[in-house]
């Protein structure tokens, strides 16, 4: 069975537990922090995946790093170690957040722009695209990308909406090249 499938199963189980105990927000907050820790600390991830390090040492490290986190989340992390599935923790976290967003009608969006978006611009993007996607709201992460020249580009899931100047220039170039053939 692929890690992706297993990660989704763990995420679904944790999601259902969060629903039963009304702790979905807490779980998501903790899992977002865990995701950032794993992204920013490759040594932790390497340590957990190392086959010669004993389970007890791995569990001890996790309990120290994530001290004060809910019992359910820490138990889930420890369970992944018990079952030698440490490598799928990031995928499990992503699957949980995706499922929780789905349940709440939220979409995650990366908005690429030449400069940081102001609150009014962010709200306008949120209003337009939440309606377009039939979502209650959009959780926006603004990424500064000077290569766009102007406008914005959005990535929501596996969809890209390109309203940037550089994107328009590329489309014009493709039309001109195909017209000259």
For residues 2-28, give the mean pLDDT: 92
As a whole number, mean pLDDT of residues 147-171 equals 89
User: What are the φ/ψ torsions at residue 155 (nearest 5 degrees)?
Assistant: -125, 115
Q: In the predicted model, is pLDDT for residue 180 greater than 90?
A: no
At how many degrees (to 10) do helices 24-40 and 71-82 cross? 50
User: What pLDDT, on the 0 to 100 scale, is given for residue 90?
Assistant: 92
How buried is residue 56: exposed, middle or buried, by Cβ count under 10 Å (0-12/13-18/19+)? exposed
CA distance 156 to 68: 33
| C-alpha count within 13 angstroms, C-beta hemisphere, residue 62 | 28
Confidence of residue 167 (pLDDT cuts 50, 70, 90): confident
Range of weakest confidence among 51-60, 65-74, 118-127, 168-177? 168-177
* pLDDT beyond 70 at 150: yes
CA 125 to chain centre: 19
Rounded percentage of the chain residues whose pLDDT exceeds 70: 99
Mean pLDDT, range 40-56, rounded to an integer: 90
pLDDT at site 1: 62
d(CA 84, CA 68): 24
Neighbour tally for 93: CB within 10 Å: 26
Distance CA 66, CA 46 (A): 17
Q: What is the pTM of this model?
A: 0.78
Give the mean model confidence (pLDDT) for residues 60-67: 91
Confidence band for 169, pLDDT divided at 50, 70 and 90 = confident
**Which pLDDT belongs to residue 8?**
93
- Domain 3-101 grouped into CATH 1.10.520.20: yes
Kindly list the domain boundaries of the chain, sorted by start residue: 3-101, 105-179
pLDDT at 121: 93
Judged against a pLDDT cut of 80, whether residue 142 lies above it is answered with: yes
User: Measuring CA to CA, which residue among 91, 82, 99, 83 is closest to residue 38?
Assistant: 91
Pairing of strands 106-113, 137-144: parallel
At 75, list the tokens: 């138990």
Q: Which of 99, 100, 76, 102 is nearest to 88 (CA)?
A: 76
Tell whether the model's pLDDT for residue 37 goes beyond 90. Answer: yes
Closest CA to 42 of 87, 106, 98: 87
Mean pLDDT of 115-141: 92
């Amino acid at each position: 069975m692929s890690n992706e499938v297993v990660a989704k199963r763990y995420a679904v189980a944790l999601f259902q537990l969060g629903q039963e105990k009304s702790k979905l927000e807490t779980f998501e907050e903790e899992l977002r922090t865990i995701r950032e820790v794993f992204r920013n600390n490759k040594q932790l991830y390497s340590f957990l995946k190392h086959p010669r390090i004993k389970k007890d040492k791995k569990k001890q490290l996790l309990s120290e790093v994530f001290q004060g986190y809910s019992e359910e989340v820490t138990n889930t992390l420890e369970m992944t170690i018990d079952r030698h599935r440490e490598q799928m923790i990031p995928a499990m976290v992503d699957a949980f957040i995706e499922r929780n967003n789905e349940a709440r009608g939220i979409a995650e969006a990366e908005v690429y722009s030449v400069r940081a978006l102001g609150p009014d611009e962010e709200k306008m993007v949120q209003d337009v695209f939440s309606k377009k996607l039939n979502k209650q709201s959009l959780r926006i992460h603004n990424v500064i990308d000077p290569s766009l020249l102007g406008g914005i580009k959005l990535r929501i899931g596996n969809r890209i909406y390109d309203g940037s100047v550089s994107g328009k220039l590329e489309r014009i170039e493709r039309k001109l090249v195909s017209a000259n053939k």
